[in-house]
Amino acid sequence: MKILVLGCGTSTGVPLIGCTCRICVSENPKNKRLRPSILVSENNFDILIDTAPDLRTQALKFNVKNIDAVLYTHTHADHIFGIDDLRMFNYLKNLKKDDNKFIPIPIYASETAINFIKNKFDYIFKDKSESSKPYLIPNVVRGSLEIKPGLKITPIPVFHGKNLIYGYRINDFAYITDVSSIPEPSFDLLKGLKGLMIDTLRYKPHPTHLSIEEAVLISERINPAKTYFTHMGHNVDYEEITGICQCRSNNLIPAYDGLNFEL
């Protein structure tokens, strides 16, 4: 399984518009963070997790030309507002066919999230015959599913402040962004991981996100082979957090846009 980090920033991205702090003006490319999203690839099947507002930029920057399915964690703007850019992936799929029928892309999310997306982007779902918009098939996730043989996906309920949203486990990898606490039953779904990517917003506690120390403690409890930090704000310097991770464990790794690894 291959993981490509398309964006590891928070909702504002880094640098922030108009900010002149040392990290926002940093020349280190690993301090430039697009909104949070990853691409998971297994046996030529590509799963996008969340359609960030930067999806077009991410696809061009990292040469993403195929998306077979989309998993949505929740419906905040930084995780869904790139949905219209999925249209080009319908188009790219259609180039491989001889007829004019668009190949749909299935999207998966909780019932609450699917209903929100269908309401907020109702133009997408009203008439699937038009090629000027994405052709998406919504699917409600209520438990584990296998959207391709050998690719088991398990939703991981987590709290994002007071909201219960989803992280996802895909085989032995779990992606948990926008989380402030993990319910006890969800820890049972996270046993035996080879890789974990988890929210690490900033050094200080936050009401709806994990701090660096909180993320470290959760990683120690889950005990995956590797933990990658994501959703980092503009007060987190890549070199500094790398040093902190190395002091705690060689298995803690801060992500950066364009990071790719295999499990």
How far is residue 159's CA from residue 174's CA, in Å, rounded to a whole number? Answer: 15
Give strand pairing partners of 173: 170, 195
Domains plus CATH for the chain? 2-262 (3.60.15.10)
Per-position pLDDT tens, the chain of length 263 = 999 999 999 999 999 999 999 999 999 999 999 999 999 999 999 999 999 999 999 999 999 999 999 999 999 999 999 999 999 999 888 776 656 667 899 999 999 999 999 999 999 998 765 668 899 999 999 999 999 988 999 999 999 999 999 999 999 999 999 999 999 999 999 999 999 999 999 999 999 999 999 999 999 999 999 999 999 999 999 999 999 999 888 899 999 999 999 99
pLDDT tens, position by position, 23-34: 999 999 999 999
Per DSSP (E only), the strands in 18-112 are 37-42, 45-49, 69-71, 105-109
Condensed to tens digits (0 to 9), the pLDDT of residues 137-173 reads 999 999 999 999 889 999 999 999 999 999 999 999 9
Q: How far is CA 211 from CA 23, 50, 202, 241, 257, in A?
A: 18, 22, 5, 12, 20
pTM higher than 0.85? yes
